[in-house]
Amino acid sequence: MSILTVETMPIEGQKPGTSGLRKKTRVFVGTHFVENFVQAILDAIGGAAGKTFVLGGDGRYFSPQVAQVILRMCAAQGAKKVIVGQDALLSTPAASHLIRLNKTDGGFIMSASHNPGGLDEDFGLKFNMPNGGPAPEGVTDAIFAATKTISSYRILEAQDIDLDTLGETRLGEMAVQVVDPVADYADLMETLFDFPKLRALFAGGFRMRFDAMCAITGPYGTEILERRLGAPEGTVVNGTPLPDFGGMHPDPNPTWAHDLMDVMFGDDAPDFGAASDGDGDRNMVVGKNTYVSPSDSLAVLAANAHLAPGYRGGIAGVARSMPTSAAVDLVADAMGIGKFETPTGWKFFGNLLDAGKVTLCGEESFGTGSDHVREKDGLWAVLLWLNVLAERGETVAEVLESHWKAFGRNYYSRHDYEGLPVDVADGIVDPLRARLGELPGTTVEGMEIAAADDFAYTDPVDGSVSQMQGLRIVFADGSRFVIRLSGTGTEGATLRLYLERYVAGPEDLGLDVQAALAPVIAAAETLAGIKAASGRDGPNVVT
């Protein structure tokens, strides 16, 4: 087998976004596109020589081919070993766990997360660091810089290697170890949660529906919920990962997981419902006739984590992304633990977790996780909810109600305007940004503006600064809205409007969410003019 040095040229548009490089699959299949980006990663991390990596992904269309390219390039550049999930499958949290468990030098994750898969849909690739977490901005900037100067890449001339069979094989000088994608992750979950208690819960007739949306968590859900916890067969639906996710949009929110919502709000609904996304790091949890907003879910889990064995000693602190509601802050204040507000993107939690400043973190975008890995973790959140329900002996609705009674309720919603022309989206955000300085003290729709800024973050661990992370307008009564552009889309621009209003209670804890937020929605429209500028009647996704 010989090592080829292939001449290439920089390819436009290889700047990693909120979570790695995500593009239309047809862009990824272009000549040298994958190879250039992989070479840029290897260059940015100081080469592959002598290193061990993890490799896997959510199984979407084009993953098998990309896995072989990554293996050949790692082999050509002196890597010692790559640990690959069987059939190149690994959920994102499982990949994070394997990176940490095996003390590797990082890993490649092939996924565009919740975006649909297929030749005409989306593909993605990201690199995670030796701590198991997404590469921080310093590294993604270095990767992007390398994509702009690349002139060649090195790759082994070899046939595809078998990734179906468990065990160790060789590619040139490099070892390739094909592992069960589920086993180590499932073992980790057993150390965190009270599996005997959960087995007893299911044995007692507790009914659950877990919608894997034809994506990666199917095998994980089946192994953990049905095999290890004894939930009846059929608890996991859409449990076989498919390259195009069966045509589904594997994004666990009320819009895209509408089948689950219909069941949970229908007659004879199960006690608990949950869905996960393409790569298994997001989660949505639903009770009988009860939707749990991700921000509330984070707050409830922070307040109750001590009920699960893995967190019995308490939690050190919590972190949330800035657009996430402040519900978890109220829990942190009551518990006397640290709280942190970061920009959107799981990579910003890594330093806080590594430094032991926080144990739990989460985001409004259906992500929750803890220091057990360095990614958000969909099934972990589902299992923690199950553990809380089992310990408290309450329904999801009862848990939420008592939480709001104790802490008050942060009414919260996100309105997404997807697929806007980039100039239209900029035409909404830029003028508002320019006016931020003059807004405090003025009144809009009868509400006085107390503060307005473009969120900037200084990492408390390494001092790195991230600017322009979202426009936030805070009103005198504590309500607020935030506007930012998504960093994960692959077509046009997605504008996200985040809305929040706090009600201390005991009255008005059971309002309709959109009605409760109506004054904030009106103020946002008056200030930002989204409908007028976009020509849309309203958002196309509401969570």
What are the catalytic residues? 113
Which of 18, 96, 368, 479 is close enough to bind ligand G16 by CB under 6 A? 18
d(CA 469, CA 322): 9
Residue number, 35 or 121, with CB nearest to ligand G16: 121
Residue number, 172 or 489, with CB nearest to ligand G16: 489
| DSSP designation for 437 | G
Q: Does 344 bind ligand G16 (CB under 6 A)?
A: yes
Residue number, 72 or 376, with CB nearest to ligand G16: 376
Pairing, β 81-89 against β 174-179: parallel
Whether the link from the prior residue into 460 is cis, omega within 30° of 0, is: no
Please report which residue ranges of 148-223 form alpha helices under DSSP H.
183-192, 195-203, 217-221
Site residues for ligand G16, 381-440, by CB under 6 A, read none
Site residues for ligand G16, 282-311, by CB under 6 A, read 282
For the CB of residue 36, give the shortest distance to ligand G16 in the complex, in Å.
22
- Tell me, by CB under 6 A, how many residues bind ligand G16: 18
Only segment of 62-70, 275-283, 402-410, 518-526 that touches ligand G16 (CB under 6 A) = 275-283
Number of H helices, E strands in the chain: 18, 27
Q: Does 490 bind ligand G16 (CB under 6 A)?
A: no
Which of 486, 492, 511, 542 is close enough to bind ligand G16 by CB under 6 A? 486
Residue number, 282 or 357, with CB nearest to ligand G16: 282
Site residues for ligand G16, 354-383, by CB under 6 A, read 363, 365, 367
d(CA 364, CA 376): 12
Which of 345, 362, 470, 539 is close enough to bind ligand G16 by CB under 6 A? 345
Cβ burial of 449 (10 Å; 0-12, 13-18, 19+) is buried
Residue number, 346 or 417, with CB nearest to ligand G16: 346
Binding-site string for ligand G16 from residue 319 to residue 338, where x marks contact by CB under 6 A and - marks none:
--x-----------------
CA 155 to chain CA centroid, Å, is 32
Residue number, 14 or 19, with CB nearest to ligand G16: 19
CA distances from 322 to 64, 225, 277, 303, 376 (A): 36, 33, 22, 20, 16
Half-sphere exposure of 249 (CA within 13 A, CB side): 9
Which runs of E-coded beta strand occur in 26-173? Answer: 52-57, 81-89, 107-110, 122-128, 152-156, 167-171
For the CB of residue 253, give the shortest distance to ligand G16 in the complex, in Å.
11
Which of 36, 39, 113, 325 is close enough to bind ligand G16 by CB under 6 A? 113
Structural tokens at position 523: 């103020």
d(CA 492, CA 513): 29
For the CB of residue 305, give the shortest distance to ligand G16 in the complex, in Å.
20
Only segment of 192-200, 385-393, 485-493, 498-506 that touches ligand G16 (CB under 6 A) = 485-493
Structural tokens at position 269: 């609904």
Question: Using CB under 6 A as the criterion, which residues of the chain lie in contact with ligand G16 when the complex forms?
Answer: 18-19, 113-114, 277, 281-282, 321, 344-346, 363, 365, 367, 486-488, 496
